[in-house]
Structure 1
């Protein structure tokens, strides 16, 4: 399965056609939040309608909370606090972010994130096979570093070693790929600046190959 993962468009979609061209044939698109820049919600539909393959999306902390309803009504699948199986791969999602100093619209307490993720992972494990977490925030101490230090989600970090792949965005300064405790972590970077990730999954072997895209 070939997956295009993007995040942090912040309402600027002009690089998406070039990203799609560079990605080539894909089976699925993952959108890791911050689709808009503090709204309006309807702006998200413009992005979600740009793809000809299935789209799974979660909101980011710079999206309004009401964007969840907009995603629900669009052609995309809302993955926020949800689970979806696609071609024998189980996808789970957590939008928004852990609290920040900036009081952005879609922030969630770590305790709520932890309880939601625990249920999702438990349900996903029952399915067997490959598990992918689509999270706006990267796990704490993984591709989450800003000038002041690491600011990722501690609750998401508890899933390291329990899921196969975590796709995130949020931290503009720390895009890239790494592996921790057997989990591959991807921070796609800012799609508004032409960054994305192309992911190839082999659900049978659990092999994952990730390449960063820059246009």
Structure 2
């Protein structure tokens, strides 16, 4: 299975993404937030549904710049919107939480660190997993070792390459960092920090941030069952 992750679209169409999807066999597209730039909601709906016309499965979460109206449009689109949920997709289990830790810009979808930690922890402790609109009635503890475990967030964890800004400061979420150190995720797919396109690690968890889609980067990885075969930053 080939998976492409993009992030931080900010209401800008990048035709190179469409060309890449036309020219390459991608099984799943993951969009890790900021589909819009404070709206408009119509962009979110139209953009996602047009991508879905390429007959590709798409999983989405909102980012901190997605307004309540934009989030409603994301939820109503033909993609699988997974914010604040645990979802099984083939051999992958997604633990998903959008938005971001507090920023200096007072954006629409921010959470304090305690809320982020408690929300994601509650996902990990859930006793059922959603398959789209169906219930997967097994304990996560019973099945998670057989699946590739993805923490899907908009905000990156603190102290990783994914949260590094040009000044050299780390601005990621301490809650997400703590969650990663306490749990055995295979990968954290994130975004938010445009300049921090990178693949790094916290303990044994891979941290992947494709940066801003305007810069035409994505994260491409390939799975065989629940095993990661390779992962790389690709130019779109």
Are the counterparts in 1 of residues 201 and 207 from structure 2 also a CA contact under 8 Å? Answer: yes
RMSD over aligned CA atoms reads: 1.6
Counterpart of 2:174 in structure 1 is 154
Tell me if 1:212 matches 2:213.
no
2: distance between equivalents of 1:94 and 1:150?
Answer: 20
What do residues 156-193 of structure 1 show as CA deviations (whole Å, max 9, x unaligned)? 11232521111111101111101221111100111122
Identify which of 79, 84, 101 aligns with 1:76.
Answer: 79
| TM-score where L is the length of structure 2 | 0.84
Counterpart of 1:192 in structure 2 is 214
Identify which of 131, 140, 143 aligns with 1:127.
Answer: 143
2: distance between equivalents of 1:193 and 1:85?
Answer: 30
Are the counterparts in 2 of residues 90 and 130 from structure 1 also a CA contact under 8 Å? Answer: yes
Moved over 4 A (4+): none
Rg (Cα) greater in structure: 2
Are the counterparts in 2 of residues 19 and 214 from structure 1 also a CA contact under 8 Å? Answer: no
Are the counterparts in 2 of residues 95 and 136 from structure 1 also a CA contact under 8 Å? Answer: yes
Are the counterparts in 2 of residues 81 and 117 from structure 1 also a CA contact under 8 Å? Answer: yes
The structure in which a higher percent of residues are helix is 2
Residue-pair matches, total: 213
Are the counterparts in 2 of residues 90 and 127 from structure 1 also a CA contact under 8 Å? Answer: no
Counterpart of 1:38 in structure 2 is 38
Identify which of 91, 111, 118 aligns with 1:88.
Answer: 91
The SS at the match of 1:102 is coil
Structure 2: runs of 5 or more not aligned: 127-139
* Cα displacement (A) at 1:66: 3.0
Identify which of 101, 109, 131 aligns with 1:98.
Answer: 101
> Looking at both structures, which has the greater relative contact order when contacts are Cα pairs under 8 Å and sequence separation is at least 6?
1
